[in-house]
Each structure stands twice: as C-alpha cells, then as structure tokens.
Amino acid sequence: MPPITDPPGLPDILGPGLQVVFCGLNPGVDAAVAGHHFLGRGNRFWPVLHLAGFTPHQLLPQDDHTVLDFGLGLTAAVGRPTTRADQVAKDEFAQAAAGLLQKLAQYQPQWIAFLGKAAYAAMTGRRQLEWGEQPERFGGARVWILPNPSGLNRGYSKEQLVDAYAELRRALS
C-alpha cells in the first residue's frame, strides 16, 4: 500500500509593487487540493474583500490569481494544509518566518495583513497583539492584523469582518 501524503500547499499569488499581501495561517485541505485560496464553503474572505472595497466585484476562489490586478497578493504563513488552522503548531509558524521574510524582501509589498494573530505572534515572539496596524515592520512591510475570515471563526460576524478589513483599506489611501 503506498504511503499517505499530505496534499501540496497552495502556490503564492505574489508580484512586485503590491499594496497588500494577505497572509492566511495555512491552506485548508480542500483549497490545497483544488489549488485555490480561501475555497472553503464557510470562508468569508472573498465577500469580505469585496465589501471592504478592495475589489470592484466579488471574486471567486477559482479567480484568486486576479487579485494581482487589484494590487493584492495571497500567501500562507505555513504551507502545510490542514482541516483546521489550530492543527498548526506555534513552532511551525516560527520556523516558517524566514521563508515569509524572504518573500517579502523579494516582492516588497507596502503592507502584509496577517489573517489572525497566531502566525504573527509566533513569528515575532510578541504575546500582546492588538487588531489593526502594528508599530513595527515585518520584512520591510507595514503590518496589519485582521480577524481570520474562516467560517470556523465564530467570534466575528461578516459585518464585523467587513468593518475590520475596510479599516485597512482606508489606511492604504
């Protein structure tokens, strides 16, 4: 019987001169298998991105590569797909920091928006984090922490997510 292997991670959608790179915690298994970011049925990323003013219409996960047209990029802190983000250990985030810093150095986006606090906290060793803009830069980019849009994140309604993401959108102007 052949060994069971994890599906590959998702390819980054990055390019030079981006306004914001949205950094998810890690890809979901279904998203990794399909090859598209934020694919989960309950994931609210695409509608929130549109309603917050980042895109003129709601993109579908299958059109994730078109975010580049709007000055946006997509990556994940950890490439290993899981069914739930809490299956990623803190040390995996810390070990992934060097790779993420290298991507940021290469593409030099203005901002990196971490979707949730876990990855940024583990990568920087900071324990007390507030939502929104952070005082330090990460890989040369300004840092913003947003609530995770996963449908499993019941702590934020869709409206609250839109408000949080719109705050970042206003900071870009």
Catalytic choice (36, 37, 43, 148): 37
1: number of Cβ within 10 Å: 3
Task: Confirm if 5 and 80 have CB atoms less than 8 A apart.
Answer: no
Active site residue 148: no
User: In sequence order, what are the beta bridge partners of 144?
Assistant: 113, 133
* Strand, helix or coil for residue 142: strand
Burial class (CB in 10 A: 0-12, 13-18, 19+), 152: middle
Catalytic choice (26, 36, 43, 148): 26
User: In sequence order, what are the beta bridge partners of 28?
Assistant: 82
Active site residue 153: no
Q: Which two tokens stand for residue 50?
A: 């549109």
Task: Confirm if 172 and 133 have CB atoms less than 8 A apart.
Answer: no
**Residues acting as catalytic residues:** 26, 37
